[in-house]
Amino acid sequence: MSARTHPPVDVVTVGGGWTAAILASKLCPQGRTMVSLEQGASRWTYPEYAHDHDSLRYSGRYAMMVNLRQETWTWRPHPRVTALPMRQYGSFNPGQGLGGSGVHWSGQLWRFMPTDFVRRTHVTERYGAKRIPADMTLQDWGVTYDELEPYYDQFEWDIGAGGAAGNVGGRILPGGNPFEGPRSRGYPNPPLVVTPYGQMFADACTDLGLHPFTQPTGILSRGWIDPHGNARSGCLYCGFCTRFGCEVDAKSSPQNTHLPVALDTGRYEVRLGCKVTRIEVDDRGRATGLTYVDAEGREHFQPARVVVASAFTLENTRILLLSRSRAHPNGVGNDRGRVGRNYTYQIYPAPVTGVFQGRKLNMFMGNTCTIKVIYDYNGDNFDHSDLDFIGGSQLYSEPCEREPFNSVDGLTTRDGKAWGAAWKEELRRNWDSHASILTEGESNPYEDQFLDLDPNYTDRFGNPLLRIAFDWHPNEQRMWRYLAARAREIMARMNPSRIVRTMPELGRYNIHDYQSTHPTGGCVMGTDPGTSVTNTHGQVWDTPNVFVTGAALFPQNAGANPTGTIGALTYRTAQAMDDRYFDDPGELLS
Amino acid sequence: MTDDRALTRRRLLQLAGGTAVAVGLAGCGSGDRTASPEVRVSTDVDAVAWPPLPPGTPPQCNVHRFFTTAEAAVVDALVARIIPGDARDPGAREACVPAYIDDKLARFPSFATPTYFQPPFAKPVTTGPVPPDQRDAETILVDAADAHLYGFQADLTPQESWRKGIAALQAYCRRRHGRPFEHMAPARQDALLDRFQALKDASDHGAPVPTAHADLDAAFAGPSASGFFGMVLEDTYEGMFADPAYGGNKGMAGWLLIGYPGAQRAYTPDEVLTPGTDRPPQSLGQMPHMHPGMPEGDAMLPMAGTLRTGTRR
């Protein structure tokens, strides 16, 4: 091999995003050395985010996302037909560059509910095993909410999360989410303020006997000095948040939380412009390090005692599959053919959009967290005994970071047009007087819904792209029908002057509409190597010195954004590695 | 859009590189714990082309670099029906949208938005579902009934789509209406755009081409009629409603129309809670400095591909 070989380190990671930064912030102060190989560029709050609220650059041209000129993902609705590449950004927006998707994320911060972690057991016990469709590969996580709670708590207090606690130690508190699992204490900061539309939504929900609360957030609602000494500003409600870096550090990102801690040790290095191409393994099948290509096209090898796949969900799955060897002919972690299994997503569309002529809603002020949410129809918070589906979704008021160039066609005339003189008048009257109710719904795993390598399309190095097989199934379509009806009830209560559109049926998945950057699964965790790729620490069963972090570990996706759970799982992995792994390297953690 | 105060040495350097618009703002400091200690220009081969940078100088409304004079007349007529206007109540024509589209096409010989443009390209077939391995070197077959689910799959660049689409439109208008599009009466133009809309609605839902519009559909060999219409709409929206720093939205006509205050640095919690705003719109170039106390207080937009290789602090 002509690759340049670097001095060995304790840990090397694929990607320099948030989970890598968390691991480094925990392991490097304990004396471990760590290198992260990040395909993108450097970005720091100053000067790189001191930008001009440039919608076209960040929202229109995806300046912070994986460069589709170099690689993408292919998709097909099911395995019996061909896949085509997502040639331009649509369904999801994985980030690249220092901090990964943790820079351009929306800031919506959740804990999954206790029942989410024991999904199969819970559904079986409450409704009977027959309620789970035969091809739905629902499973328990192997870790419970109570086990994760201390890590959720640490993550929230380290980043200065904002919200109103709904359940502290089993006591239900007013103003919070009454359906959340018990927390050991409240949030370090209050929630953000809510825009007029969010308040209208909350009032309608209260009238209907539902339980609205303000979106919990990873965006600071006030100035904050975190436990590591990072001093950060409160939110400016500027309206340029998702897909943008925050110029005042109000939105939590690796750069203003865990990265400074890790880099200050002198034992952590993020090597930028470096694309990892494979995990190398020895004859016994143990990982020896990562091969990567730098910005000048030169090949390198970084040896390490531990390899962590800490990139985005899809790339973590892909790098395991690409790493074929004599010891692991189907890729690392894939000796039993379980890599790629249980790929899930998030049900996101808007079931109903209304016009409130004469009322200004401030849809361009704030962010995705200046809103109200209900959990009454999420998870198993409502009785499914007489319903024809399992699962649920949040319903929430549309986020408030509207940018006109990519949203004007969301307001159409009565005959469905987004052009012409009548449309212009509609825009003049109602551009800031229309809004939607949105969903953030569960996505269940199925046998014909998985990730593998594409036979037809490659990246710039000739390596196969990752291929996604995914579509909505009858359970989710029935769930949508029920939720959309609930959303229409809430909208009706808000007394709109006109309904712009409704979406009573979910229909089929498509890859071209942006939905959410919440692809999950593919390297799922569990307690049974027959139905999982890793144990509950993200440690790969068949290659125990390889770990996976992030949402690729989720056995199925809950009705909430993944970042809080990704953070908590990573804290738990970091602690297990720090406490036990290096004492007995290469052994499976219990 | 530019502000003379911002013309520092660094800004001039940026402009020399063909990029840049100034930034800045007051206050709200990020401490130096999260400041970049070292920034170097990337040698990444894609740094020049991606991501795109805003133009330093807005183009003139009546200057065209990509379109021919004849093509420009069609674009002008098209956008004037998408967002009609006059001198008192500007529409897309008055807001320099045709020049915006021309500038975008001239700047990006390929795609302005990041695009995976490798073969094989898809060829829809009407014989039902196609098993995964049906392909040759150039094309890959896909069930026409599913084609709408896969999003953009064309093998044409925007330059090609605009040029060929305009030619197809003009040929159709001459044949069917006896005159080019720009010489048709506005009501006739709108009626024709309604037919494009019907084709787009069908295409978006994977429905068959409506019989009444089959001749219009057949007149477009590449791009498709619905693809062409969708591109015209999207580029018109960008030109009318994106920041005027990009050369369209002249006089912030688009933002004044809809009541959008543009690139504001901040709103107070009270403003968020109170419906409506009376702030006049402003372009990103008019924003106050971001870090006036910092040595580079008038920091630029992040440069494409800036790369920091030695990351130890």
Quick one: what percent of chain A has pLDDT higher than 90?
Answer: 93
CB contact under 8 A, A82 and B82: no
Rounded CA separation B148/B205 (Å):
7
State how far the alpha carbon of A349 is from the alpha carbons of A68, A398, A470, in Å.
Answer: 24, 11, 16
> What is residue B209's predicted lDDT score, i.e. its pLDDT?
94
Which contiguous run of DSSP H or E holds residue A454?
strand A451-458
Q: Which one, of A395, A396, A565, A368, lies nearest residue A479 by Cα?
A: A395
A31 φ/ψ sector (left φ>0, alpha ψ -120 to 50, else beta)? left
Nearest to B140 among A44, A84, A237 (CB): A84
CB contact under 8 A, B150 and A84: yes
Q: How many helices (H) and strands (E) does chain A have?
A: 11, 22
Residue of A nearest to B146 (CA): A77
- Residue A329 burial by Cβ neighbours in a 10 Å radius (0-12, 13-18, 19+): exposed
Rounded CA separation A552/A521 (Å):
4
**Chain A contact present for B257, CB below 8 A:** yes
Rounded CA separation A227/A2 (Å):
45
pLDDT tens column, A338-394: 999 999 999 999 999 999 999 999 999 999 999 999 999 999 999 999 999 999 999
> What is residue A57's predicted lDDT score, i.e. its pLDDT?
87
Residue of B nearest to A61 (CA): B113
Q: Residue A209's CB: how many other CB atoms inside 10 A?
A: 7
Q: Residue A33's CB: how many other CB atoms inside 10 A?
A: 20
> What is residue A358's predicted lDDT score, i.e. its pLDDT?
96
Residue of B nearest to A34 (CA): B312
Quick one: what percent of chain B has pLDDT higher than 90?
Answer: 59
Beta strands in B25-78 (DSSP E): none
> What is residue B59's predicted lDDT score, i.e. its pLDDT?
56
Distance from CA of B278 to the nearest CA of A (A): 11
Rounded CA separation A157/A162 (Å):
9
Mutation for testing the A interface, residue in B14, B25, B33, B277 having most A CBs under 10 Å: B33
**pLDDT at B156 exceeding the cut of 70:** yes
- Residue A305, helix vs strand vs coil: strand
B35 - beta bridge partners?
A46
Check: CB of residue A434 under 8 Å from CB of residue A413.
Answer: no
Reduced DSSP (H G I as helix, E B as strand, rest coil) percent helix, strand, coil of chain A, to 5? 25, 20, 55
Token pair listed for A200: 């209208």
CB contact under 8 A, A67 and B260: no
CB contact under 8 A, B34 and A360: no
pLDDT tens column, B55-87: 455 557 888 999 999 999 999 999 999 999 999
Nearest to B23 among A50, A90, A508 (CB): A50
Distance from CA of B142 to the nearest CA of A (A): 7
> What is residue B294's predicted lDDT score, i.e. its pLDDT?
61
> What is residue B293's predicted lDDT score, i.e. its pLDDT?
63
Token pair listed for B177: 């209406």
Mean pLDDT of B280-288: 84
CB contact under 8 A, B255 and A404: yes
Check: CB of residue B215 under 8 Å from CB of residue B67.
Answer: no
> What is residue B52's predicted lDDT score, i.e. its pLDDT?
39
Nearest to A50 among B81, B277, B291 (CB): B291
Within 8 A of A271 by CB-CB distance, chain B residues are 309, 311
> What is residue B41's predicted lDDT score, i.e. its pLDDT?
29
Rounded CA separation A563/A242 (Å):
14
Reduced DSSP (H G I as helix, E B as strand, rest coil) percent helix, strand, coil of chain B, to 5? 40, 5, 55
Chain centroid to Cα A564, Å, comes to 9
Mutation for testing the A interface, residue in B111, B149, B273, B284 having most A CBs under 10 Å: B149
Rounded CA separation A139/A331 (Å):
23
**Chain B contact present for A176, CB below 8 A:** no
> What is residue B58's predicted lDDT score, i.e. its pLDDT?
53
Rounded CA separation A43/B299 (Å):
13
Query: What's A251's DSSP letter?
Result: B
> What is residue A87's predicted lDDT score, i.e. its pLDDT?
98
Backbone φ and ψ of B187, nearest 5°: -65, -40
Handedness of CA A292, A94, A91, A478 (dihedral sign): positive
Token pair listed for A523: 């390297």
Within 8 A of A28 by CB-CB distance, chain B residues are none
Q: Which one, of A350, A401, A373, lies nearest residue A104 by Cα?
A: A401
> What is residue A199's predicted lDDT score, i.e. its pLDDT?
97
- Residue that has been written with the tokens 């997502």 in this structure: A86
Q: Residue B134's CB: how many other CB atoms inside 10 A?
A: 14
**Chain B contact present for A501, CB below 8 A:** no
C-alpha angle with apex A485: A481 to A487, nearest 5 degrees?
115
Q: How many residues does chain A have?
A: 590
Chain centroid to Cα A253, Å, comes to 14
Q: Which residues contact A99 (CB under 8 A, 6 or more apart)?
A: A16, A17, A18, A21, A43, A253, A254, A255, A259
Query: Is-catalytic flag, A258?
Result: no
> What is residue A38's predicted lDDT score, i.e. its pLDDT?
97
Mean pLDDT of A68-92: 96
Distance from CA of B97 to the nearest CA of A (A): 12
Chain centroid to Cα A308, Å, comes to 18
User: Domain ranges in chain B?
Assistant: 69-115+152-255, 121-151
Q: Which one, of A243, A252, A176, A261, lies nearest residue A212 by Cα?
A: A176
CB contact under 8 A, A42 and B307: yes
Rounded CA separation B117/B107 (Å):
18
Q: Which one, of B135, B146, B134, B144, lies nearest residue A511 by Cα?
A: B146
Which contiguous run of DSSP H or E holds residue A289?
strand A287-293
Within 8 A of A217 by CB-CB distance, chain B residues are none
Touching B: A residues 186-205, CB under 8 Å? 193-196
C-alpha angle with apex A251: A247 to A252, nearest 5 degrees?
120
> What is residue A220's predicted lDDT score, i.e. its pLDDT?
97
**Chain A contact present for B139, CB below 8 A:** no
CB contact under 8 A, B135 and A270: no
**pLDDT at B146 exceeding the cut of 70:** yes
CB contact under 8 A, A272 and B308: yes
Taking all residues of chain A, what is their mean pLDDT, rounded to a whole number?
A: 96
Among the listed residues A300, A384, A518, A537, the single catalytic one is A518
> What is residue B21's predicted lDDT score, i.e. its pLDDT?
25
State how far the alpha carbon of A12 is from the alpha carbons of A21, A98, A537, in Å.
Answer: 12, 15, 17
Rounded CA separation A169/A190 (Å):
19
Rounded CA separation B147/B226 (Å):
13
CB contact under 8 A, A50 and B113: no
> Which of A20-34, A465-479, A556-570, B241-255 is least confident?
B241-255
Quick one: what percent of chain A has pLDDT higher than 70?
Answer: 100
Mutation for testing the A interface, residue in B267, B270, B279, B289 having most A CBs under 10 Å: B267
> What is residue A269's predicted lDDT score, i.e. its pLDDT?
96
**pLDDT at B24 exceeding the cut of 90:** no
pLDDT tens column, B38-55: 322 233 333 333 333 444
**Integer-rounded Cα radius of gyration of chain A:** 23
> What is residue B295's predicted lDDT score, i.e. its pLDDT?
53
- pLDDT confidence band for B297 (50 / 70 / 90): very low
CB contact under 8 A, B51 and A57: yes
- Residue that has been written with the tokens 């089993």 in this structure: A170
Residue of A nearest to B53 (CA): A57
Rounded CA separation A372/B140 (Å):
46
Distance from CA of A27 to the nearest CA of B (A): 16
Check: CB of residue A373 under 8 Å from CB of residue A458.
Answer: no
Check: CB of residue A523 under 8 Å from CB of residue A493.
Answer: no
**pLDDT at B1 exceeding the cut of 80:** no
**Chain A contact present for B256, CB below 8 A:** no
State how far the alpha carbon of A419 is from the alpha carbons of A514, B86, B197, B245, B272, in Å.
Answer: 22, 16, 10, 24, 30
Quick one: what percent of chain B has pLDDT higher than 70?
Answer: 73
> What is residue A583's predicted lDDT score, i.e. its pLDDT?
81
Check: CB of residue A282 under 8 Å from CB of residue A288.
Answer: yes
Q: At what angle do helices A563-579 and A145-159 cross, to 10 degrees?
A: 100
pLDDT tens column, A455-494: 999 999 999 999 999 999 999 999 999 999 999 999 999 9
Q: Residue A170's CB: how many other CB atoms inside 10 A?
A: 8
Nearest to A236 among B266, B276, B296 (CB): B266
Nearest to B82 among A60, A89, A419 (CB): A419
> Which of A123-127, A219-223, A508-512, B26-30 is least confident?
B26-30
Within 8 A of B46 by CB-CB distance, chain A residues are 67, 69-70
- pLDDT confidence band for B292 (50 / 70 / 90): low
State how far the alpha carbon of B304 is from the alpha carbons of A38, A67, B137, in Å.
Answer: 16, 12, 34
Q: Which one, of A78, A92, A101, A55, lies nearest residue A549 by Cα?
A: A101
> What is residue B296's predicted lDDT score, i.e. its pLDDT?
47
CB contact under 8 A, B113 and A82: no
**pLDDT at B30 exceeding the cut of 60:** no
Residue of A nearest to B267 (CA): A237
Q: Residue B30's CB: how many other CB atoms inside 10 A?
A: 27
- Residue that has been written with the tokens 């039902």 in this structure: B128
Mean pLDDT of A63-80: 95
